[in-house]
Amino acid sequence: MTVKGNRRELLDDLAAFHWDTKQVAATEYATTEKAHGRIETRRCRAIGLDFVSPEYVSMPHRRQAFRIERERNVLRSDKTSAETVYGVTSLGPERASASELLSLNRGHWEIENRLHYVRDFTYDEDRNRVRAKRLRRNLACLANAAISIIRLDGRFDYMPQAHRHFAADQDDALRQTMRRRFAG
């Protein structure tokens, strides 16, 4: 779990850790990626919390704390930004190293970008004014099904491209839906 401002005491506790000390067993991992017109470096440091008294971190079942430092350099403008986030996990050091924690954190953002962003912007769910509780949930399920079918199809790079195709060829949309339904 990434700790945010609504858990101020825990966030302050994590920020106050001596992250660079050599006395505690810690794992470190760093990646650098160039994509979307920027270079992004991520560094993760994970510390097992077995040495910390349970009262120090006010969260049950915590086994590790982690710090992720992100540095982004936008190539076109040469602007650099930096961000540090903290988190805790119930996964112990034997189950998740710093590289695995960084990967899990990145995986969360992949879901955010590939699903929630598409639902918010392509399907414009935030402006949906449906008040019937079940209808709202059912529409969200249909949107998730449509996104899944389009992603599994593999022919389209972008959702709007797929929408235009299926709007023009509704028989193909039905074929894809039925193929996915009965394929499993």
Model confidence over 82-131: pLDDT tens digits? 999 998 888 888 888 888 888 888 877 666 667 777 887 777 777 778 88
For residue 23, the model assigns a pLDDT of: 56
- Every domain of the chain and the residues it spans: 1-95
Task: Please tell me the distance from the alpha carbon of residue 109 to that of residue 148, in angstroms, as a whole number.
Answer: 17
Angstrom CA distances, 154 to 41, 48, 78, 158, stand at 30, 41, 35, 10
Tens digits of residue pLDDT in 37-91: 889 999 999 888 776 655 555 556 778 889 999 999 999 998 999 999 998 888 8
pTM here is 0.62
Angstrom CA distances, 141 to 134, 150, 177, stand at 10, 14, 14
CB contact at 8 A, 39 and 79? no
